[in-house]
Each structure stands twice: as C-alpha cells, then as structure tokens.
Structure 1
C-alpha cells in the first residue's frame, strides 16, 4: 500500500506545474516592465547616438556596408540597413527605428510591433557588430524573447483599448456556432498562456545563466580571489568617465575588496535564492551594483539592460500597487490643475408655475412667527 501511494505527491506536483503553465499567463506586469524598459532604453540609445548615426551604422561608417555584407556571408547574420547604400534609405530606416521603439514602449498593437522591434534591434546590432557591448547583446536577446510573451496586456495602449471594448454584447450566433467559438477561444487562450509562460521562463533562465556564469568566471581569476580586481578596473582609462571619482574610489582598497567578494557571492548565489526570502535583498544589492557600474565604468546601456532584466523576478503583487499608485498620483496632479474658463450659453428652460401648496410651506418657513 505504501509503495502504491508514494508517487502521488510527485504526480500532484507535476499536475500543479502543468496547470500553472496552461491555465493563465503569469508575470504580466513584469513583462510589461520589460517591454517599457527595453523600448524606452533603446529609444534613448538611438536618440543619444543620433548625431553619430552615420559613423556607426550609416553609409559613411568605416565599417562600410560592403564589408558588413561580406561578414554576413560568413556568419549568417543579416540587416535591413545593408539592403541599400543610399543615405536617404538609411535615414528612413533610422526614423522607422525611432518610431518602432516608441510604439513598442507604449504598447500599440504589441504583437506586430514586437516583431518589428526585434528586427530593428537585430539589424542595428548586426550592422555594427564590432561596436557593441554586453548591453546590446542582452537587449537583442530580450527583444527576441518578448516576441513570444503577452507583454502588451498590462500598462499599454492595447490594454486601454481592451478595457474600453469590454462591453457585453447581445449574441446572435446559433448555439452550435457559439459552442465552436467558445472552444476556439479556450484553445487560443491556452496556447497564448503556454507560449507566454515559456517565454517568461526562458527570460528568467537567461538572467540566471548570466549571473551564474559571470560569478563562476570571476572565481577562476586571481585578481578576484585576492580582492584587487575592482582596483585595477577603476584605474583603466577606457572605463573612467570621471577620472577624479575613479581615483577617489580606488584609494579605498579594503572597501573595494569587500565589494568585490560580495559581487562574486551575489552572482554565484543568485540562481539559488530565487525561491526564498533572500531574493529581494539580493535584487536590491544587484541594483546597487549595476548603478555603480553605470557611474564608475561608464556603461549605462549595460547596467540599464541588466536592471530591467531583473524585473522579471518581481511578482505581480509587488508591481500592481506601483501602477495603481502612479495612476492615482497622476490623477491627483491632474485634479490640482485649474480648469480653463469656458463661456457657455444658457440653455433655455421653459418656466413652470409652481402649485400654491408647494409655495406656502416655503413662505411659512421663512416667517415662522
């Protein structure tokens, strides 16, 4: 009897996982944060490099379109920017990339725009493959992963339009057609939930792999073992946006050693603390680490990409109140603004004679004595 009942907990756990995978999409608010974050980050990146766009991706780049096409023949990459060497074509592509990033951030027809956004990121990444860093690689991966998620169901123009259309309608369909429509709708919702949940799982696994591999790679280095790695990093001229600040930080050898050991510990332990209460302190410390990388090493794109990726581990019960609070703050700010004065014409209302019994109590109330 004991041997027959032993597999029951394992079967219940498997059934629970299958139900979680197929019942409904999870982490909708987290994927919305990823959509807004990466769309806005790439939009700011394109605007920041707008004065240098021709030298980086355009026909006037030292890495010419012909050289890029020769590399594509060897690597299998492709880019819409190399379809023509015309400067007008490049300017149109750049303007389309800006519009696509903005629409992806706003969540306008997200299913189609997410594909366009992934094509834009892949094209710009492949065109200047030797001028990218870890931030570009991560944004490219996340842009592809977000195509398979329902990242437009929250905090988007699509969600706003869906709320406005959510009105009950009188059905004029035959019962057998209604049953078929219901079955197709259930199949569609289940398929969407499965693809979305698998996409979220892949994103989470990607972030865990990044942190785990980075931590294990640091463990193998002698400079990280003796605590001098950050000291050497701060003295590299290539990563000194503010040399004075870097020199001040480099003078604190003991503090840098402690921060280095803590960095390795956080990265190695990150995949193992996701299902415990230590997840939130670890995420907070990783946020501080990425802010330090952005300030001291001058890598804001990489730091921003990693900070946004960490949001996939924040549950909806944590993100939902933030959205409600922001919406409430916007409404309060909007209510404090004085409304413009508008002159309206009085609407003619026909006068009606009041009955005598309705007037007499009013007169008595005015003169009680």
Structure 2
C-alpha cells in the first residue's frame, strides 16, 4: 500500500464519521424521541407533586407559611447572604410572606397547576408555571429538603423543555379534534405562527424537536448521575463494603413503616441475604449507565431498580425519593415499548374466538414525510417533519 492509498483510506474514514455525525444531528432536529415516555414523566411529576402538597396540607403553614420556624425574616437574611441576581431572588422569595391569605392562595394554586400539568392542558405554559411553583416551595424552607426534593426540582426543570404534551394529554386531544374538523387540511400547532410562512413554521418545528431531544438527554444524564453518585458514596462506606449496611438501616426506628417486617428481615438467618441485596444494590447503581445502553439488558436492569425502590418504600418509608426515581427511569423506555405494551393489553382483552389486533409496526428511523428524497439531479431535499404539539 502506498502513502497515497493510505491517505485516501484515512480520508474515507473521516468522511464516513462526518456523515454519520451529520445524520445524527439531522435526526435530532426531525424526530422527537420517546414521546410516550415524556408524557408518562409529565403525568408522574404532576401527580407526585400534587399528592405531596395534599398530604402536607394540614401542616403547610408550619412547613412553608408565615408560621414556620424558618420565619420570613430569617429567609430574607438567608437570601441576602448569597447576593444572587434579582431574578433568582424573585423566584426564591415567592413564598416569603407574612400574609396567610396570600400563602394559602398560592398553595391552592400550586395544587391546581400540578393537576393541570399532569392532564396536559396547555403543557408548555403550565410546565413553566409548575416548575416555578416547585422551586418556590423547595427554596422557602431549605432545611426540609432532602435528596428527593432536589431530584424533583431538577427533573421538573428539565421536563419543562420536553414536548410532553404530544401524547396522553388534553393538548393532543384538542389537536386531534382540530385535524378532524379540518378534514385533511394542514393545521398549525400554534395559532401564533399561523400565516407566518412555511420557513418560520419549519424552523420552529425543528427547534422544538431539538429542544425536546436535548432535554431528554439531560434528563437521562441526571438520572444516571444520581445512581452513580449514590453507588460511589456507598462504596466508600465500611458497612457497605462488609455487606452489613442494610442490617443496620432496617433497625432505625423512625424508618420503619412496618416494624414487624423489619424485625423479621433482621432476624436470625437473614444476614447473608441482606448482604447479597446490599452488594446487588451497589453494583446495579454503579453499572446503571452502562446497562441502559443495551437494548436487552436495560429492561432487566430497570426491573431491578424498580424492585429496589419498591423495597425502599416498603421497608424504610422513603416514598418521595423512590417515587421520583421510578419516574426518572421512564426516560429510558422507547416508544416501541409503550406500543408493544398497549398491544399486549388489547390481546388480553380480546374475547376468545375473535381475531386479535395486529401488532404495532416498528418505529421508523425518521418520520415518513421527513425522509430524504433524491431529486432528478441527485440533490437530496427534506420535506417538512411531522407535526406535533408541545
């Protein structure tokens, strides 16, 4: 092989990598990923926070209101010490008030916003308002926060940038009715952009898809980071290295929703199974970022994590953190999983002797009207991407 042949071979490899990167970035602006998972995350976040506020309603004044030990004066002094920008201070000081009427009105409004967000009513706007409400509560009395509160605040912020209203929402239902009324005519997703030109609509559409895919990626990275950091902290602990950590955790009196169950699990003969579960917990969290990239292994891994979180809820009563992590794990489920699951449900509900519904088609690489179509001169062009609602 000559030097010229080697150089040409290297140029071919570089061009191949560049083409693959360009195809990847093009796909990120044309095909929104995991829309059903985004919708399930939206529903989970809204219902979880509404349940949280309803559960703490009898004590809301002592936790976040004017009657809290962390008084509005102390909260103001805490904010002044950090010298944050005015916008940050405005967001963090929303609940710093001496008015019980204002506090109770904001509390009730936050519950309504969380339920509307779960229902998918004007998802884009309500998602921003919902994020604002979540941050206002979790920064009002920072002594009450724990890992679950911080995870809810971060994942809710990322979810506000997703196109989570395209499936299982009132927005999707309204858009479907508008398309049926139009009888096949093109229907704009947002009336604000109606009549502003095809280029403006196409630019907006691609920007929404890119923002959605980017938010899904950051959301997934945050979940993986939480698992990895938790595993690394456990690895540094001597009791986790010895396998006795769960034995001591289950004996903490204020972490026992069912004391009889904890006493049985820490009884004679159960130390070895607890050690195995402890090691399994550490390795499942540590290897989680690697497992979710395998299409076959990730489903088994997600089942292990689901069992772990359910076990934490039952044995230690840490509901909020486990619930938000179960919701966060949904980001790794593709649309094909939800379609196949819906098909299995329909098959089970089909009476005997009747023809079951056909299985769903596999997900296309790109939407049909967004695929590259060669022209007569050999120059490719892209049609408009499929419409959706954010």
Is the contact between residue 81 and residue 123 of structure 1 (CA under 8 Å) also seen in structure 2?
yes
Bigger CA radius of gyration = 1
* Residue 354 (structure 1) aligns with: none
2:12 to 5, 8, 17: 5
Please give the per-residue CA displacement for 1:284-303, whole angstroms capped at 9, x wherever unaligned: 00000000111111111111
Give secondary structure in 2 for the equivalent of 1:127.
Answer: coil
Residue 340 of structure 1 aligns with which residue?
none
Q: Which runs of 5+ in 1 are unaligned?
A: 172-177, 333-369
Q: Does 1:197 align with 2:218?
A: no
| CA 112–328 in structure 1, closer or farther in 2 if over 3 Å, else same | farther
Residue by residue over 1:231-263, the C-alpha shift from the partner in whole angstroms, topping out at 9 and shown as x without a partner, is 111111232222222111122110110000000
2:113 to 97, 100, 119: 100
Cα distance, 1:327 vs structure 2: 9.2
Q: Deviations over 1:153-182 (max 9, x none)?
A: 1100000000011124779xxxxxx99611
Structure 2 equivalent of residue 54 of structure 1: 61
The equivalent residue for 1:260 is 278
Indicate which of 329, 332, 336 corresponds to 1:310: 329
> Which residue pairs with 1:338 in the alignment?
none
| More displaced stretch, 96-105 vs 235-244 | 235-244
Q: Which residue of 1 aligns with 2:25?
A: 18
Whether the aligned pair in 1 keeps the contact of 2:292 and 2:301 (CA below 8 Å) is no
Q: 2:169 aligns with which of 156, 179, 188?
A: 156
2:244 equivalent to 1:231: no
- 1:336 aligned partner: none
* Distance in 2 (alpha carbons) for counterparts of 1:127 and 1:148: 24
Q: CA deviation digits over 1:262-310, x for unaligned, max 9?
A: 0011011110112212100000000000001111111111110000000
Q: 2:72 aligns with which of 56, 62, 65?
A: 65
Deviation at 1:17, TM superposition (A): 1.6
Deviation for aligned residue 1:74: 2.3
Q: In the alignment, is the contact (CA less than 8 A) between 1:79 and 1:124 conserved in 2? A: no
**1:273, 1:279 within 8 Å by CA — same for their partners in 2?**
yes
Higher share of residues assigned helix:
1
How far is 1:12 from its partner? Answer: 2.9
Give the secondary-structure state (helix, strand or coil) at the position aligned to 2:98. coil
Q: Map of 1:350-369 to 2, 5 A cutoff? A: none
Task: Answer whether contact 2:261 2:315 (CA < 8 A) is retained.
Answer: yes
Task: Tell me, in whole angstroms, the C-alpha distance in 2 between the residues paired with 1:124 and 1:329.
Answer: 44
Q: How far 1:55 sits from its partner (Å)?
A: 1.0
Cα deviation 1:301-358 (Å, max 9, x = unaligned): 111000000000001111234457779999x9xxxxxxxxxxxxxxxxxxxxxxxxxx
Give the direction of change, closer, same or farther, for the CA distance of 1:327–1:51 in structure 2 (3 Å limit).
farther
Q: 1:184: which partner in 2?
A: 200
**2:142 maps to what in 1?**
129
CA distance, structure 1, for counterparts of residue 343 and residue 207 of structure 2: 29
2:379 alignment counterpart? none
TM-score, normalised to structure 1, is 0.83
Going from structure 1 to structure 2, the CA distance change for 1:324 and 1:35 (only over 3 Å counts) comes to: farther
